Structure 1
Amino acid sequence: MWPVAGSVALAVSLLTAAPASAADLPASKGSLVIIGGALRPDNAAVWERIVQLAGGKGARIAIFASASANPEKAGAALVERLNKYGANAFFVPVAVRLTGTDYQVAADDAELAKAVRGAGGAYFAGGDQARITRALRRPDGSNTRVLDALWDMYRRGGVIAGTSAGAAIMSSTMFGHPKPVLATLKLGLTDGQEITQGLGFIGDDVFVDQHLLVRGRFARMLPAMLQKGYKLGLGIDENTAMVVGPNREVEVLGYKGALVVDLSGANAKQGTFNVSNVRLSYLDNGDRFNIASHSFTPAPDKADGRLDPARPYYREPLFSADILGNSTVVDLMGKLIDSDQPEAIGLTLDSAHAVQPDLGFEFRFSRTGESVGYMSATTEAYSVYNVRLDIRPIVVKRPLYQYK
């Protein structure tokens, strides 16, 4: 056994408790709960779903705080929180920043791997996603015993949940330490630095990003997906989760929603970032999307709320000067789908002191024959499916404005 410090030793001692039996777990492949970050302690819908998918009350859930700057503190808080929702969680002391341990030795410890394999689920905390992959892969890139145990647990029917950095690792490619969103559009991405290898639990065909709407990150997904050859991307917002079941059905759960980015018909030009015919869909709480069939199912409160294009609510031109602002893209998509306007325009540009200050981008959203919108019968929330997006570079003239 590797040396441990303080409460970590207590956590390791708890590993000897009886894990959930195989009979208590689903027979099929497991589920993922992909959380966009900033998951509130009172978001019962998400926390309870994690416990349910792990086996219900008393389910053993392995807590990985590997991404955290203070793994011991973060791990203890998450154990306490999940236990309040009925789990029997335990801390897994595999983290680069965990004092008093050798994370490489811990990640290949047979006893620890056995405990993870026997659990009903695992939860990855937020922080720096590169610390997760560093902790769970050997220097030669091969899987450690603990990572293999996670895969065994997942394939057997367990649940793997993760927030923020813990969501980023779900795809086989993830963002590492990228530039801000607008700078990414201007300068592109360097493979191995700004984009790097994730753990790939969702499969090799789907790209995942997080903190999506609050930070305008939907735009940075596009160059990453184009560079790595992805046709489908899922981006999840804060305090919200995507629950991906064994049949690859995605359900949105929580405060806000998720974007589906479809590049199957997109066309990108060489040189400065320029892409056309991207399809965007916004999934609100309770909506479902099937990865295999690309089919959408609105939440029950929207089932009878399909919008009639002949009866639009918005009748004025639709424009935003800051398309990367907090939730601006969803606001504009919702207005477009319930409008008599054929398109909506959003811009993004930088300060005069930024890199390439004369370069900005136009985001042109338009309805097509496949565009559909729904409105909730109980709230004013929209679900918007299959809106076309074209992004073109623009020249920004200086000064932008003058005083009268």
Structure 2
Amino acid sequence: MTTKSKTTLANAVRLSAALLCAGACASAQAQTAIAIGGALKFDNDAVWKRIVDEAGGRGARFAVLATAAGNPARAAALIVDALERQGAVAEAIPVAPKLKGADLNKNLQDPALIARIASAKGVFFSGGAQELIVDTLQPQGQPTEMLKAIWQVYRAGGVVAGTSAGAAIMSEQMFRDAQDNLQVLKGQLREGREVDRGLGFVGPALFIDQHFLKRGRVGRMLPMMLAKGYKLGLGVDENSAAVIRGKDVEVIGAKGALLVDLGEASSDAALGAFNLQGARLSYLDRGDRHDLKTGVSTPSPLKQREPRIDPAAPDFKPYYSNEPFYMDMLGDTTIVNAMAHLIDSPHAELRGLAADVRVRAGNERPELGFEFRLYKGAGTVGWSTSAFGGEDYTVLNMRLDVMPVQFAQPLYTPLRPAAR
């Protein structure tokens, strides 16, 4: 880029930011990050409308970046349409490595495109491959002028929203490409491979993961948090979102999010494999809130109309009586199903396993597995409601230990007919 182009680019960003503040800073709401867990349905008005409302409502301007998408033109068009159906004025920004017929570097440095982002009230990142976002907007960890414009929108009280890959980049650290939860649990956590630097919109203290319950990603979040020193993690499920405004987190959409607190957790390095004792888990259902400053979670008004489930109360009457054992704690929504069962049962704990005993390429240490022990502790309470058509639980302050275990090889053998 020439010196003249650099000057024009910098002036465009400064002018756009000044115009943005002159017209909107006085009435703008607090800066808002909206992390969507992926698979966001286009008829999920609760989430789409909230994104637009947080940016000021009808007429709010959005810049849409399908940078992560495999088919950026199609992804951007669908997102633009979804936002405009809620009253926004949305524009696709043609900056994506897989966008056919586009000059990525030219568009990335285009002063006009950067100015249009800087003058928006919201920025929306599509799903796809999060590494494409960081590699494009923050190569070698250095922010481009376009990323600086996005930060200007955010710091001026705007909205940065993202689904799937667009949620992963919200943390300062992120998973780059870690599809196998169990391999991460076994220690496969390499810089530039499984993990990378994110864009950091939610700050240094909160870790975000996506597709969380559906894909059993508690198995990868725990070792990531421990390795990177995070005390607090939020795993957002599909078709759901966490609206993060300052210290306030609100869960909206179809399901919920798992809040992981390692503030009192410990680990024993002498065991030679991942282990964790005393993690604190809370499942926040839609409509629930959490205060990041005080650590207090508040169930939705619908839940508060129902009796609190308090296992320590003298009049506690549990709904469940059986004591299940979970063969795959990293299965679809298993961790939250187990928490809901335990909170409404007379038992003090439930256990389950996570393992892959197959001897195959890519499966390191097939004999290594993990036992998950969920148990009640001080402050473990819950609520449930049937207002959504099922039994939907909120569970706060449940404890979790994860311990490495060794499986026999082979784990099982076929049953043979008895000798006659």
TM-score normalised by L of structure 1: 0.91
| 1:346-365 paired onto structure 2 within 5 Å | 346-354=352-360, 355=363, 356-365=365-374
| 1:189-208 paired onto structure 2 within 5 Å | 189-208=189-208
Matched with 1:399 is 411
| CA deviation after TM superposition for structure 1 residue 26, in Å | 4.2
Question: Does structure 2 conserve the Cα–Cα contact (< 8 Å) formed by 1:24 and 1:55?
Answer: no
SS at match of 2:282: strand
| CA deviation after TM superposition for structure 1 residue 35, in Å | 0.4
Matched with 1:272 is 273
Among 369, 382, 402, the residue aligned to 2:378:
369
- Answering whether residue 348 of structure 2 is matched by residue 342 of structure 1, we say yes
Moved more, 330-339 or 110-119: 110-119
| Long gaps (5+) in structure 2 | 2-15
Structure 2: distance between partners of 1:21 and 1:62: 19
SS at match of 2:141: coil
Deviations 1:76-99 (A, max 9, x none): 221122112211100111111223
Matched letter for residue 165 of structure 2: A
| CA deviation after TM superposition for structure 1 residue 109, in Å | 2.2
SS at match of 1:150: helix
Moved more, 51-60 or 166-175: 51-60
Matched letter for residue 203 of structure 1: G
Question: Does structure 2 conserve the Cα–Cα contact (< 8 Å) formed by 1:26 and 1:157?
Answer: no
| CA deviation after TM superposition for structure 1 residue 140, in Å | 4.8
Structure 2: distance between partners of 1:288 and 1:403: 51
Question: Does structure 1 conserve the Cα–Cα contact (< 8 Å) formed by 2:287 and 2:299?
Answer: yes
| C-alpha spacing 1:25/1:73, structure 2 compared with 1 (3 Å) | farther
Structure 2: distance between partners of 1:360 and 1:203: 33
| CA deviation after TM superposition for structure 1 residue 353, in Å | 2.2
Moved more, 139-148 or 76-85: 139-148
Length, aligned pairs only = 387
Deviations 1:279-335 (A, max 9, x none): 111000100011111110000011143114221111222321111111011100001
Matched with 1:326 is 332
Matched letter for residue 196 of structure 1: D
Structure 1: distance between partners of 2:95 and 2:244: 26
Question: Does structure 2 conserve the Cα–Cα contact (< 8 Å) formed by 1:161 and 1:167?
Answer: yes
Question: Does structure 1 conserve the Cα–Cα contact (< 8 Å) formed by 2:310 and 2:380?
Answer: no
Deviations 1:325-379 (A, max 9, x none): 1101110000101110000111111142242221111000000012111112625
Structure 1: distance between partners of 2:101 and 2:380: 56
Runs of 4 or more consecutive aligned structure 1 residues displaced over 4 Å after TM superposition: 18-21
| 1:169-188 paired onto structure 2 within 5 Å | 169-188=169-188
| CA deviation after TM superposition for structure 1 residue 47, in Å | 0.4
Question: Does structure 1 conserve the Cα–Cα contact (< 8 Å) formed by 2:72 and 2:96?
Answer: yes
| CA deviation after TM superposition for structure 1 residue 401, in Å | 4.9
Matched with 2:11 is none
Structure 2: distance between partners of 1:346 and 1:113: 50
Matched letter for residue 91 of structure 1: A
| 1:63-142 paired onto structure 2 within 5 Å | 63-137=64-138, 139-142=139-142
Matched with 1:6 is none
Alignment RMSD:
2.0
Matched with 1:7 is none
Structure 2: distance between partners of 1:326 and 1:56: 35
Question: Does structure 2 conserve the Cα–Cα contact (< 8 Å) formed by 1:188 and 1:223?
Answer: no
| CA deviation after TM superposition for structure 1 residue 400, in Å | 2.4
Question: Does structure 2 conserve the Cα–Cα contact (< 8 Å) formed by 1:25 and 1:54?
Answer: no
- Answering whether residue 289 of structure 2 is matched by residue 288 of structure 1, we say yes
| 1:54-69 paired onto structure 2 within 5 Å | 54-69=55-70
SS at match of 1:350: coil
Structure 1: distance between partners of 2:405 and 2:296: 34
| C-alpha spacing 1:51/1:28, structure 2 compared with 1 (3 Å) | closer
Matched with 1:387 is 398
SS at match of 1:187: coil
Matched letter for residue 358 of structure 2: A
SS at match of 1:224: helix
Deviations 1:252-285 (A, max 9, x none): 1011110001111111122211111111110001
Question: Does structure 2 conserve the Cα–Cα contact (< 8 Å) formed by 1:19 and 1:60?
Answer: no
Larger-gyration structure (1/2):
2
- Answering whether residue 315 of structure 2 is matched by residue 316 of structure 1, we say no
| CA deviation after TM superposition for structure 1 residue 30, in Å | 1.0
Structure 2: distance between partners of 1:107 and 1:399: 53
Question: Does structure 2 conserve the Cα–Cα contact (< 8 Å) formed by 1:25 and 1:157?
Answer: no
| Long gaps (5+) in structure 1 | 2-14
Structure 2: distance between partners of 1:162 and 1:353: 38
| CA deviation after TM superposition for structure 1 residue 23, in Å | 3.0
SS at match of 1:183: helix
Structure 1: distance between partners of 2:371 and 2:75: 41
